């Protein structure tokens, strides 16, 4: 296995990406251990050694830049796949998003299609299926617009001469806006007005000059007749963030694991101290209050309900349910398999004692900003406001973000019962 060393050696020439490798979109954290990069997908328990096949090995360069040579965790979104001919090493083809810590895995912009933002001037636009909420400093306030996704339709405003805001709303110049083939989504206000809101999302890398955060989308917003530019990040449906395995093992008590499927089925397995396992099935539903309710049947086919609150990090906390399973207040950790082949625990690999010392001999260069990339973004794209001032890389080892130590026997029971349910 060939791993990229971060210390004391020249960069190898970027190798062609193997065509036979199946690519996946992955989100997670990169760390450096013993001079090599390792990647852990969000809500996974395993790690994969990394082969950086990006142009100019920019993943490695970004890691050095963001961690300041301290061997810390860095949140990334990338495209890559495991190579079976190299012990399932993760080959990275493209870097999409860079910036944040393990805590960023929990900030998925649930319920939004996109969030667009800029730090100069400050504004944030939360884009949903039928409305956009803009929070702006100039003009100050919060504004709600009824909108429609009109991707692919011509906009008369594209041919108009508008006022383009550069830096501040007052400092502006007149410029013609041309159609852009990189547009992936267009949202327009449906209420008739002389100056309708319009937001374009473009497939164009965007960089925050203040923090260095890299995002895959650029946003252009026409807001009260002026054109503002910023970065954008894609959101996710709430339901897609709920699917997965959840696991609970209190000391000296029964172990419980359940699987929530996309078709709203629940497969639940418990194992007592004597090793006896019991499988139960049911359905789950997400409530507007943000809670989850399970409608279950026990081994005797008696119906019962379980009500969970959902924490910001994806964990489920039992509020009411069947006392024969677990006590109220039990917290279930989320585990979501990445689908990657291979992987291993990282606990037996030593971290570099001092990281990369400043001035160490390296040839890695931080990639230059490509022409046309934007330099405006807000940290609201990468983490929630309540965590922006407190999130630190050390949260990688916090119980709030640790992956569950999954019990393989319980997992086997879940898979067997899930297959049996699907055959019915």
Residue 133 and residue 227 in one domain: yes
Most confident residue range from 71-75, 113-117, 246-250, 311-315: 113-117
| Percent of residues, the chain, with pLDDT higher than 90 | 48
For residue 368, the model assigns a pLDDT of: 43
**408 and 293 in one domain?**
yes
> Of 187, 208, 234, which residue constitutes the final position of a domain?
234
Confidence of residue 15 (pLDDT cuts 50, 70, 90): low
For residue 123, tell me if it sits in a domain.
yes
Instruction: Report DSSP state, residue 22.
Output: P
The SS3 assignment for 73 reads coil
The answer to whether position 222 is within a domain reads yes
In a domain, 143, yes or no: yes
| pLDDT of the residue at 320 | 85
pLDDT tens column, 35-61: 899 999 999 989 999 999 999 999 999
Taking only the tens place, the pLDDT of each residue in 67-112 is 886 778 999 999 999 999 999 999 999 999 999 999 999 988 999 9
Peptide bond into 375 cis (omega under 30): no
Lowest-confidence segment of 77-91, 160-174, 206-220, 282-296 by average pLDDT: 160-174
pLDDT of residue 181: 64
Query: Residue 385 in 3-state DSSP?
Result: helix
**Do 370 and 293 belong together in one domain?**
no
341 vs 395, more confident: 341
pLDDT tens per residue, range 179-215? 556 899 999 999 999 999 999 999 999 987 767 789 9
Same-domain pairing of 267 and 314: yes
- State residue 278's pLDDT score: 87
**Is 9 a domain residue?**
no
> Do 133 and 223 have their domain in common?
yes
pLDDT of residue 164: 41
Among candidate residues 207, 234, 261, the one where a domain is terminated: 234
Three-state DSSP class for residue 273: coil
Q: Is residue 19 part of a domain?
A: no
Same domain as 192, residue 66: no
Backbone region of residue 213 per phi and psi (left: phi > 0; alpha: psi in -120 to 50; beta: other values):
beta
Domain containing 272 equals 244-335+404-423
CA 298, CA 308: separation in Å to the nearest integer? 18
Mean pLDDT, all residues of the chain: 77
For residue 416, give both structure tokens: 């067997």
Shared-domain flag, residues 208 and 118: yes
Q: In this structure, what CATH number is given to the domain that contains residue 283?
A: 2.40.128.640
Under the banding of pLDDT at 50, 70 and 90, the label for residue 12 is low
Which secondary structure element, helix H or strand E, spans residue 96, and what is its range? strand 89-98
Residue 201 and residue 222 in one domain: yes
Find out whether 84 and 75 touch, Cβ atoms under 8 Å: no
Token pair 């409305």 is at which residue? 131
Question: Total domain count for the chain?
Answer: 3
Helices of type H across 54-134? 58-67
Question: If pLDDT is split at 50, 70 and 90, which confidence band does 422 have?
Answer: low
Mean pLDDT, residues 2-26 taken together: 66
Taking alpha carbons only, the member of 9, 1, 106, 18 closest to residue 60 is: 9
Domain boundary among 202, 234, 266: 234
- CA dist 264 and 285 (Å) reads 7
State pTM to two decimals: 0.76
The whole-number pLDDT of residue 274 equals 78
- Could you give the CA distance from residue 260 to residue 316 in angstroms, rounded to a whole number? 12
Per-residue pLDDT at 379 exceeds 70: no
Q: Is the pLDDT of residue 245 over 50?
A: yes
Give me the phi and psi of 236, to 5 degrees please.
-140, 145
Give SS3 for 146: strand
Q: Are residues 292 and 207 in the same domain?
A: no
3-state secondary structure of 130: coil
Is residue 15 in a domain? no
Average pLDDT over residues 238-247: 91
Residue 27: name the closest of 116, 100, 117, 86 by CA: 100
3-class state of residue 171 by DSSP: strand
Where does the pLDDT of residue 411 fall: very low under 50, low under 70, confident under 90, or very high at 90 and above? low
Flag whether 207 is in a domain. yes
Q: Which of 8, 85, 28, 47 is nearest to 349 (CA)?
A: 47
In a domain, 2, yes or no: no
40 touches 29 (CB < 8 A) = yes
Kindly write down the DSSP assignment for every residue of 293-351, as one continuous string.
Answer: EEEEE-TT--EEEEEEEE-TTS-EEEEES-TTT--TT-EEEEE-----S--B-STTSPP
Shared domain for 330 and 260, answered yes or no, is: yes
Q: Check pLDDT > 70 for residue 265.
A: yes
Residue 94 shares a structural domain with residue 70: yes
Asked if 71 contacts 31 with a C-beta cutoff of 8 angstroms, the reply is yes
Please give the Cα distance from 350 to 141 (Å, whole number): 50
The arithmetic mean of pLDDT across residues 326-337, rounded, is 86
Provide mean pLDDT across the span 368-373.
Answer: 43
Whether the predicted pLDDT of 290 surpasses 80: yes
Joined together, the tokens standing for residue 388 give 């922006």
Residues whose CB falls within 8 Å of the CB of residue 73, separated by 6 or more in sequence, listed in order: 29, 30, 31, 101, 102, 393, 396
- In this structure, are residues 78 and 286 in contact, taking their beta carbons and an 8 Å threshold? no
pLDDT given for residue 10 in this prediction = 44
Together in a domain, 252 and 329: yes
pLDDT of 405 above 90: no
């Amino acid at each position: 296995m060939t791993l990229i060393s971060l210390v004391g050696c020249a960069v190898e020439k970027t190798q062609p990406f193997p065509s036979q490798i199946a690519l996946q979109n992955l989100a997670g954290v990169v760390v450096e251990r013993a001079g090599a990069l390792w990647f852990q997908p969000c809500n996974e328990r395993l790690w994969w050694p990394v082969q950086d096949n990006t142009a100019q090995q920019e993943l490695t360069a970004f890691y050095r830049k963001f961690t300041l040579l301290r061997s810390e965790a860095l949140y990334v979104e990338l495209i890559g796949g495991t190579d079976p001919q190299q012990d399932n090493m993760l080959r990275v083809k493209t870097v999409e998003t860079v910036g944040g810590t393990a805590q960023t895995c929990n900030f998925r912009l649930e319920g939004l299609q996109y969030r667009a933002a800029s730090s100069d001037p400050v504004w944030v636009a939360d884009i949903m299926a039928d409305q956009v909420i803009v929070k702006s400093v100039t003009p100050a306030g919060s504004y709600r617009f009824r909108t429609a996704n009109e991707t692919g339709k011509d906009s008369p405003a594209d041919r108009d001469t508008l006022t383009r805001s550069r830096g501040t709303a007052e400092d502006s110049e007149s410029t013609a806006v041309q159609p852009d083939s990189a547009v992936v989504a267009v949202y327009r206000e449906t209420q008739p007005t002389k100056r309708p809101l319009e937001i374009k999302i473009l497939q164009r890398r965007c960089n925050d000059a203040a923090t260095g955060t890299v995002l895959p989308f650029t946003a252009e917003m026409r807001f009260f007749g002026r054109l503002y530019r910023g970065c954008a990040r894609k959101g996710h449906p709430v339901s897609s963030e709920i699917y997965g395995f959840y696991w609970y093992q209190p000391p000296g008590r029964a172990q419980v694991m359940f699987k929530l499927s996309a078709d709203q089925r629940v497969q639940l397995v418990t194992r007592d101290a004597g090793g006896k396992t019991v499988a139960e099935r049911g359905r789950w539903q997400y409530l507007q209050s943000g809670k989850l309710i399970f409608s279950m049947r026990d081994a005797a086919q008696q119906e019962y309900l379980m009500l969970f609150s959902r924490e910001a990090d994806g964990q489920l906390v039992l509020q009411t349910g069947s006392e024969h399973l677990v006590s109220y207040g039990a917290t279930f950790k989320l585990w979501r398999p990445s689908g990657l082949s291979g992987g291993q625990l990282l606990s037996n690999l030593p971290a570099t004692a001092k990281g990369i010392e400043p001035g160490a001999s390296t040839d890695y260069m931080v990639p230059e900003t490509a022409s046309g990339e934007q330099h405006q973004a807000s940290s609201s794209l990468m983490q929630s406001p309540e965590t922006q001032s407190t999130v630190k890389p050390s949260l990688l080892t916090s119980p709030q973000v640790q992956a569950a130590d999954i019990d393989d026997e319980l997992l086997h029971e879940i898979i067997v019962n899930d297959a049996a349910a699907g055959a019915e």
